[in-house]
Amino acid sequence: MTRCKSVWVVPRETFLLVDSQTLPYIRLTVPPPIAAFIVARIIAIANQKGGVGKTTTAVNLAASLAAAERRTLLVDGDPQGNATSGIGVPRDTIGETVYDVLLNPDRIKDVIIKSVQFRHLDVLPATPDLAGAEIELVDQDERELAMRRALDHVRDEYDYILIDCPPSLGLITVNMLAAADALLIPLQCEYYALEGLSQLLNTVHLVQQGVNPSLGIDGVLLTMYDARLNLSRQVAADAREYFGAKVFQSVVPRNIRLAEAPSFGKPIILYDVASVGAQAYMGVARELLDRK
Ligand code: ATP
Ligand code: MG
């Protein structure tokens, strides 16, 4: 393992499951603790385009924030359940899920799984039954507000709540956007990356006009960036021209270690903290902390 360039320092007790080999490589500078009365910033990670790095971003940003001792809740809003397994929650240990929470928002505290791999990281898990919620919610009053009602019960217990959204703009995504303070958009550095965004921004606009006028955009994150490709550089330049300072300075490179980590149920900082992927997501976390 090569020595990691990062200069952050993390207290030992932050980690519940970490081997002594990995720990010396994690160097996080923890900015001053946030006062306990501040409520969580709720960030929905969304892009209706599939496979752009939403779940990878949700899992690894959540882990990096928890490593920096920010009380973090990762909400898996996708019936694929990839964030749940990627953060290390085995399928056979899951009882109730975000599906139950959408139908009974008052039950959220019973459904959250506490302390997953990090002392400061909790998870609201999902399984494929979440797909049914799209249909079952249709008949409910204020059906797009179920997630917001649920998170209202817990938002004073966290500094950050990150929501992994599914690759669609259906009722589940609308629920997540209605519950969020802001949106984080992963943008894959590929052809048509920006074209697809107009649909997402239209949905954001509708949610702003309807149920959540203060919904903002916390950032656009360039993912799967390959500095050798003109295309990657062009997409990055276009995104910076269109979104300006909202684009994170940190760029997530294409990195095989990021693709391998989920099959071990580990975020990248526990799987290979010295990898460029781990460094990138710690950089994104730091930018997010600096922006708050
Ligand atoms: P979906 O729309 O299906 O929910 P998604 O937007 O959540 O997909 P991910 O699941 O995060 O996307 O990523 C898609 C695939 O690309 C996964 O196999 C993931 O491991 C891989 N991947 C994500 N980011 C990177 C990266 N920076 N480098 C290499 N592989 C990556
Ligand atoms: Mg996903």
pLDDT tens string 234-259: 999 999 999 999 999 999 999 999 99
Tell me, in angstroms, the distance from the centre of ligand 1 to residue 56's CA.
6
For residue 5, name the pLDDT band (cuts at 50, 70, 90): very low
Q: Average per-residue pLDDT in the chain?
A: 88
223 CB within 6 A, ligand 1: yes
Q: What is the rounded distance in angstroms from the CA atom of residue 20 to the CA atom of residue 32? A: 26
- The confidence score (pLDDT) of residue 39 equals 83
pLDDT tier at 193, thresholds 50, 70, 90 = confident
pLDDT per residue as tens digits for the range 11-49: 555 555 555 555 555 545 445 555 555 689 999 999 999
Cβ(181)–Cβ(215) below 8 Å = yes
**Residue to probe by mutation, ligand 1, list 48, 52, 55, most atoms within 8 Å of CB:** 55
Residue 265 contacts residue 85 (beta carbons within 8 Å): yes
Alpha carbon of 55 to ligand 1 centroid (Å): 7
In the block, which residue shows the tokens 């997540």?
176
Q: Ligand 1: which residue has its CA nearest to atom 24?
A: 53
Instruction: Please tell me the pTM assigned to this model.
Output: 0.91
CA distance 78 to 162: 13
Q: What is the pLDDT of residue 73?
A: 98
**CA 265 remoteness from chain centre:** 16
Residue 8, pLDDT > 80, answer no
Q: Is the CB of 53 under 6 A from ligand 1?
A: yes
Q: What is the pLDDT of residue 150?
A: 97
Is 68 touching ligand 1 by the criterion CB < 6 Å? no
**Residue 11 has what pLDDT?**
52
- In this model, does residue 3 exceed pLDDT 60? no
Tell me the backbone φ, ψ of residue 205, rounded to 5 degrees: -60, -45
> What spatial distance separates the first Cα and last Cα of the chain, rounded to whole Å?
33
CA-closest residue to ligand 1 atom 31: 259
Q: Evaluate: CB of 252 within 6 angstroms of ligand 1.
A: yes
Q: Whose CA is nearest to atom 14 of ligand 1?
A: 51
Tokens of 165: 């959204």
pLDDT band at 81 (very low <50, low <70, confident <90, very high): very high
Atom from ligand 1 closest to the CA of residue 52: 6
Per-residue pLDDT tens digits for 136-159: 988 888 899 999 999 999 999 999
Condensed to tens digits (0 to 9), the pLDDT of residues 254-292 reads: 999 999 999 999 999 999 998 999 999 999 999 998 886
